């Protein structure tokens, strides 16, 4: 029985012109995760990740704390949806920068509504795949793990959308549950699937074992 470790990227640059860039704190989260695994003798037989910059930077941080990782395999099917395109599809007026708690909540209310409409096929955000194609990219990555790496330990670095989609695929969750899971995945959090050639099973979801100690509490973030 192998284990697939799905890791959400470290904190990116929410509210900035370029979100796809780890913050200094996000890099600390990634390095700490690698250190945690190194301290426990964790080893990986394969590494998969999306092609976004924050995915690569997160893997670089993990590798700093855990040297000797296998050469990664980049899969565009593990890339995140475009949150700005989703929101623009239902809210054409420019949004204020989400720099207050209320504006932050408003941003994510709109995003959840847009994701639900995208999943239902009601909207087709510009430049984005359909929900069916997005989910197929995630399924393709899971199938690769089952077929090529059953019985091995595999590290997968991605984003909240693909990870929650993967959980939804394994558990057969309703769309609204998948969205709710998506909104709860924390930066650098680890979700584990047990893997054999026939199926995957959820073992843990959205855990932060590397940040459990009091001195790391300030590294816990959500966006």
Q: What does the pLDDT profile of the chain (223 residues) look like in tens digits?
A: 899 999 999 999 765 556 799 999 999 999 999 999 999 999 999 999 999 999 999 999 999 999 999 999 999 999 999 999 999 999 988 878 777 888 889 999 999 999 999 999 999 999 999 999 999 999 999 999 999 999 999 999 999 999 999 999 999 999 999 999 999 999 999 999 999 988 999 999 999 999 999 999 999 998 8
- Three-state DSSP class for 66? coil
Q: Which residue has the tokens 């909540």?
A: 105
Closest alpha carbon to 189 in 1, 17, 36: 36
**Spatial distance between the Cα atoms of 36 and 13, rounded to a whole number of angstroms:** 24
Helix/strand number for the chain, H first, E second: 7, 6
Structure tokens at 214: 């009091």
Distance CA 59, CA 30 (A): 7
Pairing of strands 153-158, 200-207: unpaired
Report the predicted TM-score, pTM, of the whole model to 2 decimal places: 0.95
């Amino acid at each position: 029985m192998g284990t697939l470790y799905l890791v959400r990227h470290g904190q990116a640059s929410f509210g900035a012109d370029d979100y796809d860039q780890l913050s200094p704190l996000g890099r600390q989260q990634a390095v700490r995760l690698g250190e945690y695994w190194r301290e426990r003798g964790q080893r990986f037989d394969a590494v998969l990740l999306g092609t976004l910059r924050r995915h690569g930077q997160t893997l670089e941080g993990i590798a700093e704390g855990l040297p000797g990782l296998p050469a990664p395999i980049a899969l565009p099917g593990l890339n995140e949806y475009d949150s700005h395109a989703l929101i623009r599809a239902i809210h054409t007026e420019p949004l204020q920068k989400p720099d207050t708690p209320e504006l932050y909540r408003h941003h994510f209310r709109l995003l959840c509504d847009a994701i639900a409409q995208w999943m239902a096929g009601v909207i087709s955000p510009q430049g984005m795949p359909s929900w069916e194609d997005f989910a197929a990219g995630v399924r393709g990555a899971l199938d690769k793990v089952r077929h090529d790496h059953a019985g091995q330990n595999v590290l997968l670095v991605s984003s909240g959308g693909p990870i929650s989609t993967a959980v939804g695929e394994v558990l057969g969750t309703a769309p609204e549950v998948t969205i709710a899971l998506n909104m709860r995945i924390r930066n650098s959090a680890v979700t584990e699937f047990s893997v054999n050639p026939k199926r995957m099973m959820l073992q843990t979801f959205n855990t932060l074992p590397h940040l459990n100690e009091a001195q790391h509490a300030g590294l816990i973030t959500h966006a």
